[in-house]
Amino acid sequence: MSTDTSRNFVEHLTWDRVASRIANGAAAILPIGAGAKQHGFHLPMNTDRIVAEALAARVAGRIDGLIWPTVAYGTYPAFVDYAGSISLSAPLFEGLIEETAAAILFHGCRALLVLDTGISTLAPIDRALARLGNPDTLHLKIHDGQRYLRAAAELAGQSHGSHADELETSLMLALAPRLVDMPRAEASPALTHEVPGALTRRDSASPNYSRSGSFGDPTLATRAKGEILLAAMVDDVAEQATAFLAAKAAAAGNIARNAHR
């Protein structure tokens, strides 16, 4: 694994070095993680971006990946009641992803891996990549891997959660502990359903009420849990990426052999 992560970020390189990496077979990674989305009283609003870039750096070191600048705005309608949170319309976001992906592939990257840290962004990204219709793209969904799901089930003590909760806060304690203000962590009220609609900080009678913006119980988070979750997530995502790239290479080899028969 490469230890010099800066060499894998396009924004840190000159264009000719980017061209050289592409020519030598580097796969493109496009992280997607909000830079302006509330994460309770205890996590910064760029939590998703921090996680996206950390995962991208770790995966890039395993597969020879070249990381494009993070898409820091997306469709996050569940959080707009909280100051500073930005949500694009789904059509606008889909168009942004489709055009960005097409522009990256235009430069000749052997593959594009879209690494998404959101939930409400999953379907729009799938639609954008489907419209693009390029078989060299793969949507990496960081919460779907079997290692992560197993670790989350074993570690979680909260009764519900999916946002600024025990698991996400644990990840941040592993990645950026100085940015986590644990004394301010506040659990959301017990809910009657697992997946809420848009969270609200105003209506305490709503089933989606959360004064802090958390959905779950971040007070149960620990760095030790975060290290386990992070390792599982990286292994899952890297495995998805490696398998995809290997399948592409095998297919290209078969085509080349058939052409010389």
Q: Output the tens digit of pLDDT for each of the chain's 261 residues.
A: 444 567 899 999 999 999 999 999 999 999 999 999 999 999 999 999 999 999 999 999 999 999 999 999 999 999 999 999 999 999 999 999 999 999 999 999 999 999 999 999 999 999 999 999 999 999 999 999 999 999 999 999 998 899 999 999 999 999 999 999 999 999 998 765 555 678 999 888 888 889 999 999 999 999 999 999 999 999 999 999 999 999 988 876 665 556 656
The answer to whether residue 137 sits within a structural domain is yes
Number of domains in the chain: 1
Q: What is the pTM of this model?
A: 0.92
User: Count of alpha carbons within 13 Å of 80, Cβ hemisphere only?
Assistant: 12
Rounded to whole angstroms, the Cα distance separating 190 from 52 reads 29
User: Count of alpha carbons within 13 Å of 194, Cβ hemisphere only?
Assistant: 4
Neighbours of 179 (CB within 10 A): 14
Rounded to whole angstroms, the Cα distance separating 173 from 178 reads 8
Tell me, what amino acid is at 240? Q
The answer to whether residue 250 sits within a structural domain is no
The answer to whether residue 18 sits within a structural domain is yes
pLDDT of residue 3: 47
The answer to whether residue 255 sits within a structural domain is no
The answer to whether residue 218 sits within a structural domain is yes
The answer to whether residue 15 sits within a structural domain is yes
The answer to whether residue 233 sits within a structural domain is yes
Contacts 24+ apart (CB under 8 A), 83-89: 83/38, 84/36, 84/38, 84/45, 85/36, 85/37, 85/38, 85/45, 86/34, 86/36, 86/37
pLDDT of residue 116: 96
Question: Which is nearest to 221 in space by CA: 179, 185, 184, 191?
Answer: 185
The answer to whether residue 73 sits within a structural domain is yes
In terms of DSSP H, where are the helices of 119-216? 122-132, 146-155, 166-175
For residue 144, the domain's CATH number is 3.40.50.10310
pLDDT of residue 259: 62
Query: Is 242:63 a contact under the CB 8 Å cutoff?
Result: yes
pLDDT of residue 253: 66
For residue 197, the enclosing domain spans: 5-239
pLDDT of residue 2: 42
pLDDT of residue 250: 84
